[in-house]
Homo-oligomer: A and B are copies of this chain.
Amino acid sequence: MKVAKTIESVRRLVKAARRDGKKIGLVPTMGALHIGHISLIETAARSCDFIVVSIFVNPTQFGPGEDFQRYPRPLEADLEICKKAGVDVVFAPTTEQMYPQENLTWVSVEKLTEQLCSRFRPGHFRGVATVCAKLFNIVEPDVAFFGQKDGQQAIVIRRMVDDLNMPLEIVVCPTVREPDGLAVSSRNQYLTDAQKKEATYIYKSLQKAQEMINASITDCNAIISQMRMILNQAPSIKIEYINIVDDEMVQSTDRIAGKVLVAVAVRIGSTRLIDNIMIDVGGR
């Protein structure tokens, strides 16, 4: 496994692999790798011949007062995980590599970024779209892999790729969960054991939505109010939002139809956690 610290070196490594006819897969991460990331790498390895994992805690997607400074950066452990998972190249640039001068160019995806997390993290998706555009232009992968856990991010990236005709495929992989249902996240390590137990109510609330939809309940307000009741059982959970939107997330919906994303964001202490499920009831 090679570790590329510069744009030039990762480009050279990818170019050599491409010359050998290899299909290039990119797994963009902020590091602090966990079994969710490993599952992305494993999925990438099934369809690609050359796997690049980028590790970059991107400052432009953090707002003032967010956890940019304290975000975990266990680079040595991350490299070990990548090596074991069969990664070919880890691209781990410095901030100066990625932003050598004041960044003036921004990629924004309208409408999709006016809902859900955007209202609580203004500018977040602009930072995400911009850094992903940069990573795609640097690595030029055939396929890039994202987790369903960051559901809104996946929808935003897909739309950016579509709208800008970016020459790659986006694959979104299922959320990996702990045995108790908690979605695996780098931010879970901020939680105490007691908080971690309370955090399981997030997935419980999503399972409730799934049950109700399975029972043909289509009234979103009814579903959301049941979800709220479940989340309220966990005293430290502060709900940011519970929302049901259509699968392309152009708008929130009152009635379940077609493909919907049921999404939750909460705070437990100072830690922000998100989770979602995608449900297809067909026939819209």
Interface residues of A (CB under 8 A from B): 7, 11, 101, 103-112, 129-130, 133-134, 137-138, 140, 159-160, 162-167
Q: Which of chain B's residues have a CB closer than 8 A to the CB of A134?
A: 163-165
Which of B109, B111, B130 is A164 in contact with, Cβ under 8 Å?
B130
Q: How far is the CB of A129 from chain B (nearest CB, A)?
A: 7
Q: List 12 A-B contacts (CB under 8 A).
A: A101-B162, A104-B110, A104-B112, A104-B159, A105-B110, A106-B110, A133-B164, A134-B163, A137-B165, A137-B166, A138-B167, A140-B167
Given contacts A105-B110, A105-B129, 13 further A-B contacts (CB under 8 A): A101-B162, A104-B111, A104-B112, A104-B163, A105-B108, A105-B160, A106-B108, A106-B110, A107-B107, A130-B164, A133-B164, A134-B164, A134-B165
**In the docked arrangement, what's the CA distance between A110 and B112, Å?**
21
Q: Which of chain B's residues have a CB closer than 8 A to the CB of A103?
A: 163
**In the docked arrangement, what's the CA distance between A126 and B134, Å?**
18
Q: How far is the CB of A28 from chain B (nearest CB, A)?
A: 14
Q: How far is the CB of A9 from chain B (nearest CB, A)?
A: 14
Q: Which of chain B's residues have a CB closer than 8 A to the CB of A107?
A: 105-107, 164
Q: How far is the CB of A89 from chain B (nearest CB, A)?
A: 16
Q: Which of chain B's residues have a CB closer than 8 A to the CB of A159?
A: 104-105
Q: Is the CB of A137 within 8 A of B111?
A: no
Most buried by B among A103, A104, A106, A130: A104
**In the docked arrangement, what's the CA distance between A133 and B140, Å?**
14
Q: Which of chain B's residues have a CB closer than 8 A to the CB of A137?
A: 164-167
**In the docked arrangement, what's the CA distance between A105 and B160, Å?**
6
Q: Which of chain B's residues have a CB closer than 8 A to the CB of A11?
A: 167
Q: How far is the CB of A105 from chain B (nearest CB, A)?
A: 4
Q: Which 5 A-B pairs have the closest CB atoms?
A: A105-B163, A137-B165, A104-B110, A105-B160, A105-B109
Q: Which of chain B's residues have a CB closer than 8 A to the CB of A162?
A: 101, 105
Residue of B nearest to A166 (CB): B137
Residue of B nearest to A7 (CB): B165
Q: How far is the CB of A60 from chain B (nearest CB, A)?
A: 11
Q: Which of chain B's residues have a CB closer than 8 A to the CB of A108?
A: 105-106, 108
Q: Which of chain B's residues have a CB closer than 8 A to the CB of A129?
A: 105
Q: Is the CB of B165 within 8 A of A138?
A: yes
Q: How far is the CB of A68 from chain B (nearest CB, A)?
A: 20
Residue of B nearest to A113 (CB): B104
Q: Which of chain B's residues have a CB closer than 8 A to the CB of A101?
A: 162-163
Residue of B nearest to A168 (CB): B137
